[in-house]
Chain A
């Protein structure tokens, strides 16, 4: 063994050294190191879990936001539709009212025209009759002589009956 360059005493010493190192390591370092590693592992796991949770929350928030936007869009569309319907109804009502008023004005105007026409006709009739009577009076006055007038008066007296009572 000495020919190969291997020193048995050195090997033993190295072995003892190694065993000592192992003993010391095991006694003083292994536990803290193991707990450190475990702690690190735990922390990493926790970190991972937190990351997953945060991602899930983010996704949830995104979904909520998306849903909210869609809901708002739908509500907006509903409100717009309703507003359009109401505007249409108001427009129709105004139009109907305008038509009704126009019809009423037309009826009233026609009635007034009819009334004025009747009044004019009445006035014309009265005027024509009055003028006619005046013409007849004038004509009779011109045509009838005094004798004829006397005869007419005689006839009237004769035809008045036997007596006229004024009491």
Chain B
């Protein structure tokens, strides 16, 4: 399939920009919606979240949070800790 080289360039630039934007977005996943104080505390804790902070809810986490930015993930949830414990016990 032969694409117009100009169109190809545009698509490439769009994809790169999209990836960059997504890699700059900080996503916080919690078991319940964040309260205002929690949101403030998180923004203070994570400098990168000052630009944009995305919130998601996952009740399976029980409590705590998971922080994601691009390909980096920081799991501070109860579910994550239980998972770590399981991994340690089954070693």
Residues of A within 8 A of B (CB): 125-126, 129-130, 132-133, 136-137, 140-141, 144, 146, 148-150, 152-154, 156-158, 160-167
Shortest Cβ distance from A96 into chain B, in angstroms? 45
Interface residue from A146, A150, A160 paired with B76 (Cβ < 8 Å): A160
Bits for B29-63, please: 1 = Cβ < 8 Å to A, else 0: 01110010110011001111000000000011011
A144 touches B86 (CB 8 A): no
Known: A133-B82, A136-B82, A166-B74. A156 touches B69 (CB 8 A): no
How many residue-residue contacts, CB under 8 A, span A and B? 79
Residues of B near A137 (CB, < 8 A) are 60, 62, 79, 82
B82 touches A157 (CB 8 A): no
Residues facing A in B59-75 (CB within 8 A) are 59-60, 62-65, 67, 69-70, 72, 74
B86 touches A133 (CB 8 A): yes
A126 touches B47 (CB 8 A): no
Give CA–CA (A83, B11) in the complex, Å: 92
Give CA–CA (A136, B89) in the complex, Å: 14
B62 touches A130 (CB 8 A): no
Give CA–CA (A150, B35) in the complex, Å: 9
A152 touches B78 (CB 8 A): yes
Q: Which of A156, A162, A165 has the most CB of B within 10 A?
A: A156
B79 touches A163 (CB 8 A): no
Shortest Cβ distance from A151 into chain B, in angstroms? 8
